[in-house]
Structure 1
Amino acid sequence: MQKREELYSGKAKSIFKTDDPDRFIMEFRDDTSAFDGVKKAQLSRKGMVNNKFNAFVMEKLKDAGVPVHFEKLISDNESLVKNLKMIPVECVVRNVAAGSLCKRLGIKEGTVLTPSTFELFLKNDELHDPMINEYHALAFGWATQDQLDQMRSLTFQVNDVLKTLFANAGMTLVDYKLEFGLFEGQVVLGDEFSPDGCRIWDAKTGEKMDKDRFRQDLGNVIEYYEEVGKRLGVTF
């Protein structure tokens, strides 16, 4: 698969065209950012760690019947993925209260949520990814009802698989965000699943093992990303 011109460069990943119009190369860079790009840094090995972490998780989800855009690793920092028409709506599941939920609703961090909550956000950096509901998505044409239903169902299917996976490795999957797109008319999981887009705590100590280490200046960000991966069985 020949790598061609860059199609898109985001905060931490770049997308390149290939000689197959239905396949892209997704490159994970060492860039990291928080607070809508206000805080930025370069973290050595981050691209490699997130690429391999994402590949591991995507294979687990694929084995569980979740349609994913990931196809295969092609280098330490690159993966071959399907060319999706992305739906500009992020799906967020929260198993434990943390982050913006605590700020918005005054909920104590660490409160176990039963049932887990499901929220929608518009993917728009300029607007700071505002929270929306299904009526917004329908009224403004961001997604159809059938697509929203499938996205919600798949997001909770992912939760069933990954909560168990992390729990068996001594960790709590606190929350995460997912993005979806369309491939040949089918709703497919896109983007990535890595410690950049979820919260992970040590099940015994509650120690944070995710991007909050960067947001909150806790240090050893990539070391903790690698520790999470190694507990799950990722080979770096």
Structure 2
Amino acid sequence: MKTNELKLLYEGKAKKIYEKSSDEVIIYFKDDVTAFNGIKKDSIIGKGKINKLITSFFFKMIEEKGIPTHFISDVDDNSFVAKKVKIIPLEVIIRNYTAGSFCKRYGIEKGIKIQKPIVEYSLKDDDLGDPMICKNVILSLKQVEEKILNRLEYYSLKINNILSSFLEEKNIILVDYKLEFGIYDNKVYLADEISPDTCRFWDKDTMESLDKDVYREDKGNLIDKYSEFLRRINI
């Protein structure tokens, strides 16, 4: 992909968004990896390619199950074409097991299965550190309309069922993850990515991480673990 011929609309920690047309963008997955809000960062060759491959795979699966996504088609190893959605300024976080900040926040141990999936929200704002936000505050600040917020929760829980069921067959636990959504033509679409950067995946038998916690916690080679996840899901 010749990115120098396209207009760069946005660059984040892990992706670049280029304008393809008035209705479409090209999403390029970088090899950059960060943790702790960018305090720890590196570039690891091959990471972008793996995350793009996993994201495309899951978006196609989710679309087939009736949930609209912004994914349109693959471009190359690191890029795909997507609908130019207007991103909703919220991250939807689904938790199936206790881990990460959830354990720190409530003083509980890691790895406890949660009886019913927990849905949390954070405000997409890097300057504020993406703070947690509850439904009442979301509606009071008019971040989204209530019907859209309800749609986000409905889609997120349905996606949780789709991914959890699929991964269980691969002996992988979907611990927790974040989702982003956007609006296109007055309709809600799943956007951004679903990858080991945005999810916690554990081996069911060993509880070993197959996600970015390997990098966060210096638990091994990130590419090795991401590649193992790829192999386990047969792509």
Band of TM-score, shorter chain: over 0.9
Distance 2:11 2:87 in 1: 15
Distance 1:206 1:31 in 2: 26
| CA distances 1:4-34 after superposition (whole Å, capped 9, x unpaired) | 211111101000001x211000000100101
Superposed displacement of residue 226, structure 1: 1.4
The residue aligned with 1:8 is: 10
Distance 1:113 1:57 in 2: 23
Superposed displacement of residue 126, structure 1: 1.4
Superposed displacement of residue 124, structure 1: 1.0
Deviates more, 1:217-226 or 1:191-200: 217-226
Distance 1:156 1:78 in 2: 27
Distance 1:151 1:127 in 2: 22
Identity of aligned residues (%): 39
| CA distances 1:205-229 after superposition (whole Å, capped 9, x unpaired) | 1111100001001121111111112
Distance 2:128 2:191 in 1: 22
The residue aligned with 1:111 is: 112
Deviates more, 1:135-144 or 1:60-69: 135-144
Superposed displacement of residue 72, structure 1: 1.2
The residue aligned with 1:192 is: 193
Superposed displacement of residue 107, structure 1: 1.7
| CA distances 1:105-159 after superposition (whole Å, capped 9, x unpaired) | 1121000001111101001111111110111111112111011000000000000
Count of equivalent residues: 233
| CA distances 1:7-62 after superposition (whole Å, capped 9, x unpaired) | 111101000001x2110000001001011110000011011100111000101101
Distance 1:9 1:192 in 2: 14
Runs of 4+ more than 3 Å apart: none
Distance 1:66 1:204 in 2: 31
Distance 1:116 1:151 in 2: 14
Instruction: State the superposition RMSD in angstroms.
Output: 1.2
Distance 1:230 1:71 in 2: 24
Question: Which residue identity lines up with residue 98 of structure 1 in the other structure?
Answer: A
Distance 1:222 1:50 in 2: 10
| CA distances 1:187-212 after superposition (whole Å, capped 9, x unpaired) | 11000000000100000011111000
Deviates more, 1:214-223 or 1:2-11: 2-11
Distance 1:136 1:72 in 2: 36
Deviates more, 1:25-34 or 1:218-227: 218-227
Distance 1:134 1:180 in 2: 16
Superposed displacement of residue 71, structure 1: 1.0
Structure 1 unaligned blocks of 5 or more: none
Distance 1:60 1:134 in 2: 29
Distance 2:226 2:195 in 1: 8
Distance 2:189 2:78 in 1: 22
Secondary structure of the 2:201 match is: strand
The residue aligned with 1:232 is: 233
Distance 1:126 1:219 in 2: 30
Question: Which residue identity lines up with residue 156 of structure 1 in the other structure?
Answer: L
Secondary structure of the 2:88 match is: strand
| CA distances 1:145-193 after superposition (whole Å, capped 9, x unpaired) | 0110000000000000000111100100000000011011011100000
Secondary structure of the 2:58 match is: helix
